[in-house]
Amino acid sequence: MAGIGNVQLGVKLTTADVHNQRLTTTATGMASVSSGFVWNPTSRAILKKEETDKQNDDNLIFLFEYRALLNSRIQTLIAQLSNALASDLDVAMSAANPRWGGTPKPAMNGLSTPTVADAGAARTAYNFMMGWMSSSTVSAGATPALTGSAFVPGPPPVPGSVQQAEGFDGTFEGVAYGGGTPTLRAAGTATLVTVGPLPANGNSRVIDTLQIGDLRGAAPTFIYTNTNADDAAPTADHNVLDNSFSGPLGAGARARNAKNLFQKVLFDAVSSVEYRAVLSSGLFKNLVVAASSSLPTGSQVQASFNLSFEGAQDGGNLHISLDKMTAYYASG
């Protein structure tokens, strides 16, 4: 349907345009002494507005396409972090932590057999939390839920196995940006353990912070605030989630205090040039990364994180909050 634009541009500028009339008059009347050049800006003003509108449209299209590019990079990063988190959860369930004796047992199943249940939700939760925090404090009453050392022959029939109702309570400490000691608590039984914040710590769920500096410079800086657990002594806290990137490809991440595969993947991404614009765009807010892992016996561990960047184009702090972590043991 013809509209105002069609009438003005399709008709006026081709048949009744004053500009065209002026050209005709000038061309046929140049021989006359009274002829002259008559300036009429009507058509030029219309063409200028059309060109301005075209430039605005092109700029808007570029803005939308650039925003879509940044969003696609964020979605790619979320997928990569979800895979890394699932791998960390697998390790937390399967690894034997030397913190609990010279001959430690696999975390989730331990000494479990078709007739013996060696519940390992507490051991799994410990493995996972020590892959993030710097130190732990496990109450004396919770130690049997990790080692089973308090049990003697009798039900359960295997010495050293852990009863499913055995209680567990442990706190895990880190190093807060700007001072303080962020602390999270893992509590429950050897069958079911959940992680939550402490009221004394302001109910903060921040489990670690990636400090980013000089983002627009040639050599930006990255460092996780929590240091890695001390593995020097057999009785010290041990981190078993950092063994998968112990080679040269993980040296850079380890130097920045990356303690698990999730943090290694996050550092590798945000330290690359193409992700600098993502950080400074304001889109890196409240990103949720979740994953779960399970065993054929039915045992399962789940975790969910929230990532938010607080800063500007020069840098800032990427806070990683633990929304949920649950470990559940099933005997199959």
Q: How far is Cα of residue 277 from the mean position of the Cα atoms in its chain?
A: 16
Predicted confidence (pLDDT) at residue 295 exceeds the cutoff of 90: yes
pTM of the model: 0.80
Q: What number is the average pLDDT over the span 56-67?
A: 67
CB contact at 8 A, 194 and 184: no
For residue 11, pLDDT beyond 60: no
Q: Please state the φ and ψ torsions of residue 146, each to the nearest 5 degrees.
A: -100, -35
Q: Does residue 152 register a pLDDT over 60?
A: no
Percent of the chain topping pLDDT 90: 46
DSSP state of 7: I
| Cis bond upstream, residue 156 (ω within 30) | yes
63 by DSSP, 3-state: which?
helix
Q: Round the average pLDDT of the chain to a whole number and report it.
A: 82
Given a cut of 80, whether residue 49 has pLDDT beyond it is no
At residue 241 the predicted structure's pLDDT band, cuts being 50, 70 and 90, is very high
Q: How many alpha carbons fall within 13 Å on the CB side of residue 325?
A: 30
What residue type is 112 in one-letter code? Answer: S
Task: Report percent pLDDT > 70 for the chain.
Answer: 76
Quick one: pLDDT band at residue 3, thresholds 50, 70, 90? very low
- The amino acid sitting at 128 is F
Phi, psi of 127 (to 5 degrees): -55, -45
Q: Which of 24-38, 87-101, 274-288, 310-324 has the lowest mean pLDDT?
A: 24-38
| Cα–Cα distance, 25 to 36 (Å, whole number) | 9
Calpha distance 271→91 (Å, rounded): 25
Instruction: Choose the most confident range, by mean pLDDT, from 14-23, 234-243, 250-259.
Output: 250-259
How far is 77 from 169, CA to CA, in rounded Å? 34
* Spatial CB neighbours of 89, under 8 Å, sequence gap ≥ 6: 128, 291, 292, 293, 301, 302, 303
CA distance 314 to 306: 22
Question: What sign does the CA torsion over 74, 75, 78, 80 have?
Answer: negative
- Characterise 101 by phi-psi region: left (phi > 0), alpha (psi -120 to 50), beta (else): left
Average pLDDT over residues 312-329: 92
Q: Is residue 208 pLDDT above 50, yes or no? A: yes
The pLDDT score that the predictor gives to residue 28 is: 55
* pLDDT at position 237: 86
User: Averaged over 135-156, what is the pLDDT?
Assistant: 75
pLDDT-derived band at 161 (thresholds 50, 70, 90) equals confident
Quick one: how far is CA 201 from the chain centroid? Answer: 23
User: Scanning the structure block, which residue is given the tokens 């890394």?
Assistant: 84
* Neighbour count for residue 132 (Cβ, 10 Å): 27
Read off the amino acid at residue 331.
Answer: S
Checking if the pLDDT of 34 tops 70, the result is: no
Lowest mean pLDDT among 21-25, 206-210, 231-235, 299-303: 21-25
**Is the pLDDT score of 156 beyond 70?**
no
At 215, the amino acid letter reads: L
Tell me if 138 sits within 8 A of 186, measured CB to CB: no
